[in-house]
Amino acid sequence: MQFLFHNFFYRPLYNALVFLTAILPGHDLGMAVIVLTLFVKVLLIPVSHKTIKTQKKLKELEPQLAKIKEVHKNDQQEQAAKIMSLYKEHGVNPFSGVFLMFIQLPIILALFFVFKAGIDLTSADLYSFILRPQLISHLLFGLIDLTQKSFLLSVLVGLTQFVQVQLSLPPSPKKGGKDEDSFGDTLAQSMNFQVKFILPVFIMFVSYKLNTAVSVYWIVNNLFTIGHEFFVKKQAKKIISA
């Protein structure tokens, strides 16, 4: 497992950062992280589109979901089976948003280990054909030291994550009376609360514990996703019918 992670994530990312630093003005390593993040997000656009289409379909299926919950409110097992059948019929995966988040985890870990070890232009991990800069600036825009922790950037990570989650998650089921709320509704409400409020705070502290480069990656990633969400919402009909 360590061999696979090193050769398929750590080493390619290491070389990509060195190459980008060599060709970017001022040999700014922080700018290299930003460009690399944007490149990864562009590669993941097809997956992101599918996730957003799923969210739109979930919104469209709300009346049918409400009807299933009403008809089978006394049989939780049958209710769950009918809901999963409806999802399958319409090609909906309600967990696609979580998948998109975790698919980037190896990249974040690789970025953390790269900066933990430091960039060594004589490292054996560098490919022979990679262009190498004569020097590397660890100051993002000449201001933020990537080798130090930044509480401000960690707060920005939490804030952008909060906004991104608000846009991406489907609305929570509306609360009814005590007898009307099914176990599934209660669970969904609980999970939505945790993802909307607890997750951004958790990610904020995690980013602070790691390093500033990871914070930069996370902020750019979230801002790109937020922009993508707004863009897709304007063209929702075209994407859903695609």
Residue whose tokens read 């998650």:
169
Provide the pLDDT for residue 191.
Answer: 65
Provide the pLDDT for residue 173.
Answer: 53
Question: With bands split at pLDDT 50, 70 and 90, how would you rate the model's confidence at 171?
Answer: low
Provide the pLDDT for residue 238.
Answer: 60
pTM over the 0.85 mark: no
Please give the average per-residue pLDDT across 103-118, as a whole number: 87
For 74, residues 6+ apart whose C-beta sits below 8 A from its C-beta are none
- Which has more pLDDT, 138 or 190? 138
Q: Which two tokens stand for residue 141?
A: 């825009």
| Each residue's pLDDT tens digit, 37-93 | 999 999 888 877 777 777 778 778 888 888 888 888 888 888 888 888 888 888 777
Question: With bands split at pLDDT 50, 70 and 90, how would you rate the model's confidence at 174?
Answer: low
Residue whose tokens read 């049958």:
78
| Each residue's pLDDT tens digit, 14-42 | 999 999 999 999 899 999 999 999 999 99
Is the confidence at residue 187, as pLDDT, over 60?
no
Is the confidence at residue 201, as pLDDT, over 80?
yes
